[in-house]
Amino acid sequence: MIKAVMVINTQGKPRLAKFFEYLPLEKQQELIRNVFGVLCSRPENVSNFVEAESIFGPDSRLVYKHFATLYVIFVFDSSENELAMLDLIQVLVETLDRCFKNVCELDIVFNYSKIHTILDDIICGGQVLETRSTEIMRAVEEISKLEAAPNAITLIPKSSSGWLSR
């Protein structure tokens, strides 16, 4: 089971945090801080795995990917396959990239509602729900149609490209 999904920027600010087991807010923030503390000291070109039991307690694993200014982190228990979780991070990020056409941190900041929708389509109750980013896109677009509102997001400038370098 996936226990948590986090997106943290390289300054340690949470950009998205979803816990699939209820935790009080202070605990959530503490975990986010601890995870960031470990990740920010990791060099480039190392594995995507980090020892998680000291932070999340026994039977927990953590995989992460580092993209430009963001860390995307999945925490889960031993019933999940680590590499499959890493693949799922990739699915999430590719979906965001399709959604925002070369996504950057600001897209996530100003559209966190959309991110929540996407995440709810990929993971439900800590289990893998959907893995086709085309399908997720389609669902998100369908939802967008239901909202007959003008698009205010175009005001936000795009920044650095090559976000998906790894």
Partner 1 sequence: MSMHGMRGLSVFISEIRNCQNKEQERLRIDKELGNVRNRFKNEKGLTPYEKKKYVWKMLYIYMLGYDVDFGHMEAVSLISAPKYPEKQVGYIVTSCLLNENHDFLRLAINTVRNDIIGRNETFQCLALTMVGNIGGREFAESLAPDVQKLLLSSSCRPLVRKKAALCLLRLYRKNPDIVNVDGWADRMAQLLDERDLGVLTSSMSLLVALASNNHEVYWSCLPKCVKILERLARNQDVPQEYTYYGIPSPWLQVKTMRALQYFPTIEDPNTRRTLFEVLQRILMGTDVVKNVNKNNASHAVLFEALALVMHLDAEKEMMSQCVALLGKFIAVREPNIRYLGLENMTRMLMVTDVQEIIKRHQAQIITSLKDPDVSIRRRALDLLYGMCDVTNAKDIVEELLQYLSSADFTMREELSLKAAILAEKFAPDLSWYVDVILQLIDKAGDFISDDIWFRVVQFVTNNDDLQPYAAAKVKEYLDKSAVHETMVKVSAYILGEYSHLLARRPGCSPKEIFSLLHEKLPTVSTTTIPILLSAYAKILMHTQPPDQELQSQIWSIFNKYESCIDAEIQQRAVEYLALCQRGAALMDILAEMPKFPERKSSLIKRTEYSEGDTAEQSAIKLRAQQQTSNALVVTDQHPANGATSPVPVGQLSLVKVPSMITTENDTSTDHPLSQQNGALSNVDPQPPSADLLSDILGPLAIEGPPGATVQSEHNAVSGLEGGSDAADGSAIVPVDEQTNTVQPIGNIAERFHALCLKDSGVLYEDPYIQIGIKAEWRGHHGRLVLFLGNKNTAPLVSVQAIILPPAHLKVELSLVPDTIPPRAQVQCPLEVVNLRPSRDMAVLDFSYKFGTNMVNVKLRLPATLNKFLQPIQVPAEEFFSQWRSLSGPPLKLQEVIRGIRPMPLPEMANLLNSFRIMNCPGLDPNPNNLVASTTFYSESRPAMLCLVRIETDPADRTQLRMTLASGDPTLTFELKEFIKEQLISIPTAPRSPAPPAAQPTPQIPPNDPAAILAGLLS
How many CB atoms within 10 Å of residue 8? 23
Residue 165 C-beta: closest distance to partner 1, Å: 10
Residue 103 C-beta: closest distance to partner 1, Å: 14
CA distance 149 to 116: 18
Return all residues near 141 (Cβ < 8 A) that are at least 6 apart.
Answer: none
Looking at the Cβ atoms of 112 and 161, the one nearer to partner 1 is: 112
Looking at the Cβ atoms of 15 and 161, the one nearer to partner 1 is: 15
Residue 35 C-beta: closest distance to partner 1, Å: 14
Looking at the Cβ atoms of 10 and 49, the one nearer to partner 1 is: 49
User: Taking phi first (over 0 means left), then psi (-120 to 50 degrees means alpha), and beta for anything else, what does residue 68 get?
Assistant: left
Residue 104 C-beta: closest distance to partner 1, Å: 14
Residue 161 C-beta: closest distance to partner 1, Å: 19
Looking at the Cβ atoms of 116 and 158, the one nearer to partner 1 is: 116
Looking at the Cβ atoms of 23 and 68, the one nearer to partner 1 is: 23
